[in-house]
Amino acid sequence: MIALRGLTKRYGTTVAVADLSLRVEPGLVTGFLGPNGAGKSTTMRMVVGLDRPTAGTALVGGRPYGSLRHPLREVGALLDANAVHPGRSARRHLLAMARSNGIAASRVEEVLAAVGLAEVAGRRAGAFSLGMGQRLGIAGALLGDPGVLMFDEPVNGLDPEGVRWVRELMRSLAAEGRTVFVSSHLMSEMQLTADRLVVIGRGRLLADAPIEEVLGGPQERVLVRGRDLPRMLATLPQGARVVGEPPGALVLSGVTAQQVGDAALAAGVAVHELTPQRASLEQAYMELTAGSVEYTSGRKS
């Protein structure tokens, strides 16, 4: 588990992280979201002692990272995929990490195979593509078989197969009871991966809740397209309401697709399309962070 208590980081007059308190629990994938400059990377760096807090504490398993005797066995982190000597091979890089923490050399081969780098393990890391570098960073995080794992933008540079592999890896690690804390700007991917979301803006906590709560609840919207749809409305269950009217269609909330189909049949209405639509994390995120974005793109009129 990761516990942050009043965590604060200032650089001169700039507040990067402001009085941040939260718990990242085991057995879940906790997504860490926020605009550029929100303080996500700084927060993660303070957890592993790379940045010193101005105030507050960051604890892993109830202890500061600096007090851990063999930190790689307790915390695995991918914070910067470029933090590798470019002249070292992937295997030698991981062997150096293993020796520093008393980890068996056989574990290096295991993680190389797990991340798909076994065949290129002798190649210099400086010749790796961005995606291969990400895989090497993930191998380093897994090296000590730790109970706590942190990943900062782990899918950068990965192809679709690699993105899916990372998603399944995160889910499997959490299913083993590990603490998984992962940041990403890919909302669609985070919606598929995370159980819980922590959202920050300008260093301050904006949300800390299960993903369904951030999305506004488990209710799905239903798109129905057909003829004489207004006639169907009277046969819908109580609580159903129209939340959108695209051409030739209605978007309904508070009702399931099955209930809409039954209502259409009862009203004698022909239905050409009936599609459940899950709430969008991207939209929920944009609404949450609307007042916390430091860098906005200009729009052409």
**Is pLDDT above 80 for 225?**
yes
**Is pLDDT above 50 for 10?**
yes
Other C-beta atoms closer than 10 Å to the C-beta of 113 total: 13
> For residue 301, what pLDDT is reported?
40
DSSP annotation of 124 reads: B
Please give the radius of gyration of the chain, using alpha carbons only, rounded to the nearest integer: 23
- How do beta strands 221-226 and 249-253 pair? antiparallel
> For residue 269, what pLDDT is reported?
94
Question: How is domain 221-278 classified at the architecture level of CATH?
Answer: 2-Layer Sandwich (3.30)
> For residue 217, what pLDDT is reported?
59
Residue 288 pLDDT grade (very low, low, confident, very high; cuts 50, 70, 90): confident
CATH 3.30.70 segments of the chain: 221-278
Predicted model pTM: 0.82
Q: What are phi and psi for residue 216, nearest 5 degrees?
A: 100, 20
**Is pLDDT above 90 for 219?**
no
- % the chain with pLDDT above 70: 96
> For residue 73, what pLDDT is reported?
96
> For residue 203, what pLDDT is reported?
93
> For residue 298, what pLDDT is reported?
55
Which fold would CATH assign to domain 2-214? Rossmann fold (3.40.50)
CATH 3.40.50.300 segments of the chain: 2-214
Residue 218 pLDDT grade (very low, low, confident, very high; cuts 50, 70, 90): low
> For residue 243, what pLDDT is reported?
85
Other C-beta atoms closer than 10 Å to the C-beta of 63 total: 10
Q: What are the tens digits of pLDDT across the range 125-153?
A: 999 999 999 999 999 999 999 999 999 99
